[in-house]
Chain A
């Protein structure tokens, strides 16, 4: 079974500052990793995913994440945030191999961007 830990429940940051949202996972098998964003009163939208290959993954809206197998981490970064990035961010993991993915989600990190 897999599990995900998002250590920070809330991250406040000023506009145009860099940000890192942390995600650690646990699994005894190979995994796929995902980051989702949820804006208020909306569903979740896929930001980026790691399936295989390059450990640095680029996603939408200028976000990127790096898969670190030895540290079992998949931290999300953005070099300069905007007010519009204020949202909740979820890290998720699934066993790799097929299109069927029982995603296990972290509890989320609320990113608060202020002027």
Chain B
């Protein structure tokens, strides 16, 4: 989607290795979110951010950490990847104006842990 990009788009990594996914936005939105999408589960919230250096855990945060040092960047790190973290990861943003309510999603990162 315009205004939000995720990198990489695809990644294959080995069990036990650290992995960092990047989300970059150009909308200057305050709120950013990381979700994972798995068949039968829909999308589940991993972590979210209220602003720079202000983050909190979602419902499936175990094994993940995040950082937000700039408004435009929100990083998701898998400290030691496991096969259960094979998934599609989506970043989303939302703003404070009612016209911006509801997320804008990135195109996703497909992560495979072997």
Measured CB to CB, the residues of A under 8 A from B are: 32, 34, 36, 42-46, 49, 51, 90, 98-108
Contact = CB atoms under 8 A, between A and B. Distances in A.
Nearest to A52: B98
Contact of B98 (A44, A51, A103): A51
A25 to B, nearest CB: 13
Contacts, number: 67
Majority secondary structure, A binding face: loop
A98 B106 contact: no
B43 A46 contact: no
Contact of B103 (A98, A103, A104): A103
25 contacts: A34-B103, A36-B105, A43-B106, A43-B107, A44-B103, A45-B105, A46-B104, A49-B101, A49-B102, A51-B101, A90-B42, A98-B96, A99-B94, A99-B97, A99-B101, A100-B30, A100-B31, A100-B94, A101-B103, A102-B33, A102-B58, A103-B92, A103-B103, A104-B45, A107-B41
Contacts of B100: 99
B74 interface: no
